[in-house]
Amino acid sequence: MGYVKWLGHAAFEIFLDGRTILIDPWITGNPKAACKIEEIKRADLILVTHDHGDHLGDAVKIARKTGAAFAGIYELANYMNNQGVRKAYGMNIGGSIKIKDIEVILVPAFHSAERGREVGYVIRGKEATIYHAGDTGLFYDIKLYADLYPVDIALVPIGGLYTMDPLQAAEFITLIKPKVAIPMHYGTFPPIDKDPKDFQKAVEDKGIGTKVVILKPGEKYEF
Ligand code: NI
Ligand code: MN
């Protein structure tokens, strides 16, 4: 059985087909971190949506410690290689890579970044297809990818200011039509305090059959 565990903010631990994947592992300095970095003992793959501090976070440290591989936008992969990460796969938008039977597809996001550009990830395993939107505003093109790769679980930002807010995120969900939507990137600090119930209600009002699962940091959604 697999799971998606929220580590707080945009950080998730995903257990899929027996592999542990960390996304945007910002633990140190994250007011809502669900664990300490010392508690992270295992990771097979680390994914980072963009190089802002609240996403790149402890990625290098954890990759060095666990020997996890990295996959992401080309310029950020170069940086990870230079930091002594065991194996960093450089990719670009639309690119896909298979790492130990899990397919990772780099998809667009609309935000900003220093190295390369901002992205989202579609992660396809036997047990589930999971989409992490990264930091993004509302954009339409995700529909093309969601049509090609039907999404079971979508992780979407709702905190506003730097990303979509609950209303925009609910509209975004209508383009993806996942089975489950999990809100993230809210409540970490006051400027992005939003009520996830507003997102839940807005999605329910769309009548598309997507279930919104609100996690607390440290909680898991099992699939
Ligand atoms: Ni950002
Ligand atoms: Mn962010």
Kindly give the distance from the C-alpha atom of residue 118 to the centroid of ligand 1, in angstroms, as a whole number. Answer: 8
Please list all protein residues whose beta carbon sits less than 5 angstroms from ligand 2, which is an ion. Answer: 54, 135
- Asked whether residue 221 is domain-assigned, the answer is no
Rg (Cα) of the chain, in Å, rounded?
Answer: 16
Does residue 142 lie in a domain region? Answer: yes
CA of 94 to the centre of ligand 1 (A): 20
Query: How far is Cα 156 from Cα 20, in angstroms, rounded to an integer?
Result: 20
- How far apart are the CA of 179 and the centre of ligand 2, in A? 25
Residue 94 lies in a domain: yes
Taking a C-beta distance cutoff of 8 angstroms, is the pair 133, 127 a contact?
no
Our count of domains for the chain comes to 1
Q: Are strands 45-47 and 69-73 parallel, antiparallel or unpaired?
A: parallel
- Residue-wise pLDDT for 73-98, tens only, equals 999 999 999 999 999 999 999 999 99
Is residue 138 one of the residues assigned to a domain? yes
Asked if residue 139 is part of any domain, the answer here is yes
Position 183 confidence tier, pLDDT thresholds 50, 70, 90: very high
10 Å Cβ neighbour count for 106?
24
User: Which uninterrupted H or E stretch holds 170?
Assistant: helix 166-176
Q: Report CA(117)–ligand 2 centroid distance (Å).
A: 13
Q: Indicate which ligand has the atom closest to the C-alpha of 188.
A: 2
Assigned domain for 127 exists? yes
- Is 220 part of any domain? no
Residue span of the structural domain in which 111 resides: 3-215
Distance (Å, rounded) from C-alpha 134 to C-alpha 131?
9
Tens digit of pLDDT for each residue in 120-140?
999 999 999 999 999 999 999
Task: CATH number of the domain at 46, please.
Answer: 3.60.15.10
How many whole angstroms from 16 Cα to the centroid of ligand 2? 24
- In a domain? residue 223: no
Provide the mean pLDDT of the chain. Answer: 97
Instruction: Say how far apart CA 77 and CA 87 lie, in whole Å.
Output: 9
Q: How confident is the model at residue 100 (pLDDT cuts 50, 70, 90)?
A: confident
